[in-house]
Amino acid sequence: LTSRCRFNLQLQYKQLTFDETDRKDFLGQPGTVNAWYQPELNSITFPAGILQPPYFHPLWPASINYGGMGVVAGHELTHGFDDEGVQWGPTGAISFSECENCTGWMDETSTDGFNTMAQCVIDEYTAFCPLDPNRYSPNCVNGVQTQGENIADNGGIHAAFRAYRTHIALDGPDPLLPDRLFGQFSHDQLFFLNFAQVGSMKAL
């Protein structure tokens, strides 16, 4: 075996047999403009590449940063509680319940509440039919297949907006932006404008 293969095998063996998770282990490239949740590690990763405009800048008002990076953070956090995330326990292991009608670590009441919420999201997104049915089939969103991302998107923007409003309550509002274009918007509007800008960026 080459030394690189031997090293990778030893590393994989260590990861499989080590008692504790190495929280300093980093999967991915630091320059990646993305973030991800890993249920098996109960971990969220934010590479340095995403901690820059249009997601975040230390000199920007809180409204813009929360509308960008805050929504990304909320989205990834919510993945821990989407249709797949709820199946994992706090230690990163698949969690099985003794309750027949329960999901993972949740009791029956929590499972019922989760299922009601998930079905609401599924129904809402299944009703989205943005494509011309004469040209495309299927032309509607499959709410069952997309529920994980839809739950994370909804949870992310709600969590980020609540965190932003808490920030304002504790530290006070930022001054309005001084220029003609952006100075006409409130900070609540700037939060949603940056959310929309980040969400509608052209794929590279």
- Which tens digits make up the pLDDT trace of 93-143? 787 766 777 777 888 899 899 999 999 999 999 999 988 888 988 889 999
Q: How far from chain centre, in Å, is Cα 46?
A: 11
| pLDDT, tens digit (0-9, with 9 covering 90-100), for 190-200 | 999 999 999 88
Mean pLDDT of 136-162: 95
Residue 29 confidence (pLDDT) = 82
Q: Which domains does the chain have, with CATH numbers?
A: 52-199 (3.40.390.10)
Separation of alpha carbons 74 and 100, rounded Å: 31
Query: In the predicted model, is pLDDT for residue 92 greater than 90?
Result: no
8 or 174: whose pLDDT is higher? Answer: 174
Would you place residue 204 in the very low, low, confident or very high pLDDT band (cuts 50, 70, 90)? very low
As a whole number of angstroms, the distance between CA 43 and CA 65 comes to 22
Quickly state the pLDDT bin for 21 (edges 50, 70, 90): low
Which residue numbers are catalytic? 76, 153
Encode burial over 110-123: b for 16+ CB neighbours within 10 A, e otherwise. ebeebeeebeebbe
